[in-house]
Amino acid sequence: MITSTTGPQPADFADVRATNLTVVLRFVREHAPCSRADIAASTGLNKATVSSLVADLIDRRLVRETGLTENRVGRPATMLVLDGSPYAAIGVEISVDTVSAVATDLAGERLLTWRRSFSGGDSVNQGMAGVGAIVRRVVGRMAKEERQVLGLAVAVPGLIDVQGTVRIAPNLGWRDADIGGDLTKALRDPGFPIQVDNDANLAALAEQRFGAHAGASDLIYLTGEMGVGAGIILDGRLRRGGRGHSGEIGHVQLDPDGPACHCGRHGCLEAMAGIGAVLRKDPSPAEIQVEIEEVVRLARSGDPESLSTLDSVGRSLGKGVSILANLLDPEVVILGGYYVPLAPWLLPAVHEELGHRVVAGGCHVVASTLGHDAAALGGAARVLDSVDSGRLPGGLSRIP
């Protein structure tokens, strides 16, 4: 007997309507301002159906009519845009030295970006008290703006299982922590879903929705924080693997005779192309930012030692990226975190290695344009993704 969890699911007419609502919502998101006739013409849905669907989306305050009309022959068409003023999506990123929070409206416009320092050495309880405090303030601000929070997603640098439990976050020293449960308690059952995910995964979602390569269906994001991890989008969706632990590229071995890694082996990607390799010492979280700025200054000034180090790190990074390119054939690999300011010196070496190593010939590699809180923004993206997949606020709702 063959059992499969992935075949088509039986559908009924309520499903059809829910699907079509999300199709129209996505169309408006992508093409606003647009008319009902535009939607009908592009989706193939008939005009009466579109009118009914739009009315439903207006009722839910997801879409609104603008005063604008389209210049065209015949009756002027009222234009539609995303509304979403009553809603907010919240993303939070826990990293070794900071907690960041981002809130966006339904269209993905940023409502706030807050950051506070954080001590990765804190216990889960101490750490989560700090996270709870910032999240409570964000939720309070949204309440003040009379926005309904659609959901909250938290990015953690570590192995997160499919239930959202942090199995291990080595650089935070956390293990088997139900931080989603902790936050639910800290917020006293806030009535919106709280999700926990790996930082690379959420940053990849941010790139897919907001980045320079938004909409790419095969995209990999590589974090350049204390650790190096990959968020893997294939065929338009994040691929988490069987237990949710995909993307663990940091300890892939590039050279058995390479430098010692803190994992106990030698020549791991993190040891050869991580922040420690750039700084040529074990980095202290609080000082990384300043020290990376110093490396950038030296590289700019043409310091031969710095340039040589960055070339070597770039080559190792290129080896790592070539593994991703050979195995997964992405359209683009996006370098995040501290790789971004270093990209002008890393990318030439990365591209040279890729030219030698990628069997199918090359691979696009670029620096992220989303800034250091890509994973926090990705938390908001994940919440918006839920809406786009049919978890519509108000009225009839379909859980994807």
DSSP β-ladder status, 237-238 and 332-335: unpaired
Q: Across the strands, what pairs with 87?
A: 148
* 3 state DSSP class of 352: helix
Is 239 a binder of its own copies (CB under 8 A)? yes
Q: Which stretch binds its own copies (CB under 8 A): 57-65, 77-85, 132-140, 386-394?
A: 386-394
Rounded-to-integer distance, Cα 313 and Cα 348, Å: 11
Restricted to residues 51-90, the positions that interact with its own copies (CB under 8 A) are none
Q: Which of 157, 250, 336, 379 binds its own copies (CB under 8 A)?
A: 250
Q: Which stretch binds its own copies (CB under 8 A): 125-133, 192-200, 232-240, 335-343?
A: 232-240
Q: Across the strands, what pairs with 119?
A: none
Q: What is the DSSP letter of 359?
A: T
Q: Which of 226, 254, 354, 377 binds its own copies (CB under 8 A)?
A: 254
CA distances in angstroms from 213 to 169, 217, 219, 221, 222, listed in the order given: 29, 9, 8, 11, 14
- State which residue, 141 or 266, has the beta carbon closest to its own copies: 266
Q: Is the distance from CB of 390 to CB of 399 less than 8 angstroms?
A: yes
Whose tokens are 């199709």? That residue is 23
- State which residue, 4 or 125, has the beta carbon closest to its own copies: 4
Q: Which of 54, 128, 172, 232 binds its own copies (CB under 8 A)?
A: 232
CB neighbour list of residue 196: distance below 8 Å, 6 or more residues apart: 153, 154, 156, 160, 164, 165, 166, 179, 180
Q: Which stretch binds its own copies (CB under 8 A): 21-29, 59-67, 72-80, 192-200?
A: 21-29
Rounded-to-integer distance, Cα 165 and Cα 195, Å: 10
Q: Which stretch binds its own copies (CB under 8 A): 148-156, 188-196, 228-236, 365-373?
A: 228-236
Q: How many residues bind its own copies (CB under 8 A)?
A: 77
Residue 45 CB, nearest approach to its own copies (Å): 5
Rounded-to-integer distance, Cα 308 and Cα 311, Å: 5
- State which residue, 198 or 306, has the beta carbon closest to its own copies: 198
- State which residue, 183 or 202, has the beta carbon closest to its own copies: 202
* 3 state DSSP class of 344: helix
Residues 310-349, one symbol each (x = binds its own copies by CB under 8 A, - = not), give ---------x--xxx-xxxxxx------------------
C-alpha gyration radius of the chain? 23
Residue 79 CB, nearest approach to its own copies (Å): 15
Residues 139-158, one symbol each (x = binds its own copies by CB under 8 A, - = not), give --------------------
Q: Is the distance from CB of 36 to CB of 56 less than 8 angstroms?
A: no
Q: Is the distance from CB of 283 to CB of 212 less than 8 angstroms?
A: no
Residue 22 CB, nearest approach to its own copies (Å): 5
Burial class (CB in 10 A: 0-12, 13-18, 19+), 256: exposed
- State which residue, 264 or 304, has the beta carbon closest to its own copies: 264
Residues 173-212, one symbol each (x = binds its own copies by CB under 8 A, - = not), give -----------------------------------xx---
Rounded-to-integer distance, Cα 271 and Cα 261, Å: 5
Q: Which of 77, 81, 186, 252 binds its own copies (CB under 8 A)?
A: 252
Is 159 a binder of its own copies (CB under 8 A)? yes
Q: Which of 91, 151, 244, 337 binds its own copies (CB under 8 A)?
A: 244
Is 355 a binder of its own copies (CB under 8 A)? no
- State which residue, 122 or 218, has the beta carbon closest to its own copies: 218
Is 352 a binder of its own copies (CB under 8 A)? no
Q: Which of 15, 109, 176, 305 binds its own copies (CB under 8 A)?
A: 15
Is 253 a binder of its own copies (CB under 8 A)? yes
Q: Which of 265, 280, 281, 297 binds its own copies (CB under 8 A)?
A: 265
Rounded-to-integer distance, Cα 385 and Cα 202, Å: 11
CA distances in angstroms from 24 to 36, 153, 202, 203, listed in the order given: 9, 25, 25, 26
